[in-house]
Structures are given as structure tokens and as C-alpha cells.
Amino acid sequence: MPAGRYDPPAMTTHARATPPHTAIVGLQWGDEGKGKIVDLLTSEHDVIVRYNGGANAGHTVQVGDQRYALHLIPSGILYPDKACVIGNGVVVDPEKVLQEFETLRARGVHIGGNLKISDRAHVVMPYHKEQDAALEEYLSAKTSGDRGNLSIGTTRRGIGPTYADKVRRSTAIRMGDLLDPAYLRSRLEVVCKLRTAELEALGVQTAPLDPAALAERYAGYGERLRPHIQDTVYALHDAMRAGKRLLFEGANASLLDIDHGTFPYVTSSNCSTLGIPAGTGVPGHAIGRVLGIMKAYSTRVGAGPFPTELDNELGHRIRERGREYGTTTGRPRRCGWLDLVAVRYSAMVCGATGIACTLFDVLSGLDEVKLCVRYRLPDGTETDRFLPDAHRLESVTPVYETLPGWSEDLRDAGDRATLPANARRYLERIEQVVGVPIEVVSLGPERTQTLVDGRRAAALAHA
């Protein structure tokens, strides 16, 4: 190019000219059934994109009697003709990705050029997982008293320490670095010294980390992942210019968002839709549809405030009926009534244009059901605003509306209009309070156990 001349990039069409792209995002504390809904919408999209989190996520897709649990790979991988992208905002544990490759391939799932991983995604190293566990142990052993235990109850997948290194910059390793063994080794020389000292400070007796061995191992993973590692920002923009539709698959959930969740009992990324632009390089205005996923009740895994928690026989019953045990860690999930103050806040922050109400079948058989519509504050006043600060949220008491329950099994319902009147009333009240329409009602883990725009979803063709 002659000096002084500037050739603009070939941006002839703008993202806004393409069909709207869709975001799927959890409106509670995770495990809302995002995997199922992503699977449901995949056929209408071309590229499925993860923008945040890492192997802390566990997304279940059930196809007939086949159950798939996906952690790092987008749920769209089950369709061989769709492209999948792990964006720059994700923290990638290469060992876990390769394990997931093996498990999926053993079940006949194709993984090749259909999966791209951002060269700018940060790498979860073994010392991040050790640090995560060591900090949790340290905090649960050393902190007690009025404010209780300060540990978060993380998944111990190294998520927090990896994002901390990203923000610290000088100690971070990115996927692209795994492709340059000499550079990787030089970075690890410094990082390993520092990390050994930090682990010792947390009381971990560890042999000094060996940078040469670690560099060799991770460069090996890099070599195996080389065909997938690339600049995904250009790949996504190229796809949009070619008229492809993107589906963003949120991991974790809005109330676990590092900025907008129940801090400090959150994860370390922007899991709300606000994380999409930063985590993929796609501007927010390109997304036309935001489907917020919400269970018909609430659950939470790990520590942190949960105003509507049912730490009793009813909570136990919901846990058993909903099979509320973690997809990633197997931990029993805490269960409680639906908190609409929280859901309305998440829908606002995420810009939800519609809601998918999942696990609705689980509520059948209760004499009455409750919806939390306001909080009572310690001074006796009431508010319909969420309080994302954990300490403040711990002090509220839920104010409930009680509705009559229904006894019918909803799993085979064919139409929203023919659901039992009390079940319909429950859905309508949610729409009134949140102010967003329920577009999808999920009545079981399977694809076909779903009402889309009021009608039973047809069985989808699969790989």
C-alpha cells in the first residue's frame, strides 16, 4: 500500500442490515435450562457463540434417551451443519476441551472445522485450579463470625484466578500463546515463580512449579487445538456480512454477573447479555432478540443470599422432582419460590424481549404456589427493586402473592390455552409482573416437551 493511503476494510454491509441475532441468557442464578433452549433455537441460526465463563458451566441437552452435558463447547455442536465459536470472553481449560472432544466424538458428534476458539481467550492453567481450591479452603477455615464464611462455593474450575490474571495482564496466558512454545515458556518462567509463592501464602505445600514441563505440556495441547484457534472476531463479522444468524449462548447467569449480580457471591465474568460485545467483538445493537431463561421456581448453587429459599421439606421436594443436582459438580442445588423481583431486574439489565419459562412441570401437585413480588426491608418498608449487593439482599424478607396450584401432569400438554386454568394464571401473573411475554414454556427436558408461542414444538431433525 503506498505510504499515506488508507484503505478502509471492506465493510460494505453493516451488522444492522443483517437479520437479528439472538441471545440466550439465564435470568436467575444458573441452570435455568439454557442448554435445552439453545438446542431448540439452533435450527433457526447458523453460528452458536459462547461469550463468557468456562468449564464452570454445565448445559444439558436431552435428545430422546440421550443426555449430553456440555461445559465449554457450545450446545450447537450437536448439529453437524452449524458453526460453533468459543469467543474471547471465555476462559478455556484446554484439558477440559480436549476431554469434551473425546466424550462427544465417542458418541458420534462431529468436531472439526465447525468449532473455532478465539486466540484471545484466556487459558485456565493447572495453578489456577489449585489457587481456586486453595483460596476457598483458606477462606472457609479462616473466616467465621458475624458475617459468616467468606468462601463463595465456587466450582473450583479455576475461573476466578484465570480472569484475575486477565485483568492483571502481565501473568496472563492466552490461547494464541499456546501456539508459540518459546514465548509460552518465557512467560511461564516468571509466572511459575510468582505462582509458587502465592500458593505457599495460601498454605499449599507445593513443589516449585516447573515452567519447562508446563510449557511443553500446554504447547502440546496448543498443537492439538491449532486447527481451531483463530481470530474469531473477524470470523463472526464475516459470518454476519454473509447473512448468517448468530445465537449467543450465555453461561452462568445474570445474577452471577460480576458487575450486576449478587456480589461478591458471583462468578468472575459478565454473564448477562452485557458481556456479549466484550466477549465476542460483536456490537450489542446487532442483537435483535434476547430470550431470558427462567425456571418456574428459583435455584442457586454455592453460597450467597437467596431470599425465597425453601430450606425445608418443600424445597427438598422441588429438588427431587426437578433433579436439581449440579451438572458440573453434582452439588445439590438450593431451591425456593420464584423471585420475580430478581427476574424483573435481570430482564431489565439483559434487555429481554421474551422469556422461556422452564421446568414448569415440576410445580404440578402443589396445593398453592407463591410468587415473590416485593421485598420487605429491615425498616419495615417495601420495595420492588432488586438489591444486588449481597449484604443488603441478605436482610430482606420476601413478600409473596399466593396462587392456587394445579395437580395435572403438564409434560404432554399440547397447547398453552389448554393448560389447567391455575397454571395459565401463574404464567400470566409472571408476564404482568416482569412486563415481558413468555414465548416458550418448557414442560420436560426433551425438545418436544416444549410450547413455543403457545404451541407444542415439533420434533426436530437431528444429526
**Binding site residues, Mg ion, CB under 5 A:** 31, 58, 327
Closer residue to Mg ion in complex, CB, 58/87: 58
Give the burial class of 107: count Cβ atoms within 10 A of its Cβ; 0-12 exposed, 13-18 middle, 19 or more buried: exposed
Question: In the bound complex, what is the minimum distance in angstroms from residue 183's beta carbon to ligand IMO?
Answer: 28
Residues 25-64 that bind ligand GDP (CB under 6 A): 26, 30-36, 58-60, 62
Give the one entry of Mg ion, ligand IMO, ligand GDP, none that residue 302 binds, where binding means its C-beta sits below a cut-off of 5 to 8 angstroms depending on kind. Answer: ligand IMO
Question: In the bound complex, what is the minimum distance in angstroms from residue 152's beta carbon to ligand IMO?
Answer: 5
Are 59 and 75 contacting, i.e. CB atoms less than 8 angstroms apart? Answer: yes
Closer residue to ligand IMO in complex, CB, 211/302: 302
Is the preceding omega at residue 264 within 30 degrees of 0, hence cis? Answer: yes
Which range binds ligand IMO by CB under 6 A, 245-253, 311-319, 364-372, 424-432? 245-253
Residue at 417: amino acid letter: A
Tell me the three state secondary structure of residue 61. Answer: strand
Residue 270 grid cell:
459478565
Give the one entry of Mg ion, ligand GDP, ligand IMO, none that residue 281 binds, where binding means its C-beta sits below a cut-off of 5 to 8 angstroms depending on kind. Answer: none
H or E segment and range at residue 50 = strand 47-50
Question: In the bound complex, what is the minimum distance in angstroms from residue 395's beta carbon to ligand GDP?
Answer: 29
Give the one entry of Mg ion, ligand GDP, ligand IMO, none that residue 308 binds, where binding means its C-beta sits below a cut-off of 5 to 8 angstroms depending on kind. Answer: none
Contact call for residue 116 and ligand GDP (CB under 6 A)? no
For 200-267, the three-class secondary structure string (H helix, E strand, C coil) is HHCCCCCCCCCHHHHHHHHHHHHHHHHHHEECHHHHHHHHHHCCCCEEEECCCCHHHCCCCCCCCCCC
DSSP codes of every residue in 331-383: PBPEEE-EEHHHHHHHHHHHT-SEEEEE-GGGGTT-SEEEEEEEEE-TTS-EE
Catalytic residues: 31, 59
Which range binds ligand IMO by CB under 6 A, 50-58, 116-124, 231-239, 379-387? 50-58
Question: In the bound complex, what is the minimum distance in angstroms from residue 198's beta carbon to Mg ion?
Answer: 30
The β-bridge partners of 400 are: 372
Closer residue to ligand GDP in complex, CB, 160/444: 444
Q: Which residues 6+ apart lie within 8 Å of 215 measured at CB?
A: 181, 184, 185, 188
> For the chain, give me the number of helices (H) and strands (E)?
12, 21
Q: Among 130, 135, 136, which residue's Cα sits nearest to residue 153?
A: 136
Tell me the three state secondary structure of residue 94. Answer: helix
Among the listed residues 22, 26, 119, 353, the single contact to ligand IMO using CB under 6 A? 26
Tell me the three state secondary structure of residue 451. Answer: strand
Site string for ligand GDP, 301-330 (x = CB under 6 A): ---------------------xx---x---
Contact call for residue 305 and ligand IMO (CB under 6 A)? no
Whole-angstrom distance, CA of residue 162 vs CA of residue 170:
12
| The pairing of beta strand 59-63 with beta strand 287-295 | unpaired
Tell me the three state secondary structure of residue 178. Answer: helix
Which range binds ligand IMO by CB under 6 A, 51-59, 113-121, 273-281, 450-458? 51-59
Give the one entry of ligand IMO, Mg ion, ligand GDP, none that residue 36 binds, where binding means its C-beta sits below a cut-off of 5 to 8 angstroms depending on kind. Answer: ligand GDP
Contact call for residue 336 and ligand GDP (CB under 6 A)? no
Residue at 398: amino acid letter: P
Site string for ligand IMO, 246-285 (x = CB under 6 A): -----xxx--x----------xx-----------------
| Displacement of CA 310 from its chain's centroid (Å) | 24
The residues that touch ligand GDP, with contacts defined as CB under 6 A, are 26, 30-36, 58-60, 62, 322-323, 327, 358-359, 361-362, 442-445
The residues that touch ligand IMO, with contacts defined as CB under 6 A, are 26, 29-31, 56-59, 152-155, 157, 159-160, 251-253, 256, 267-268, 301-302, 327
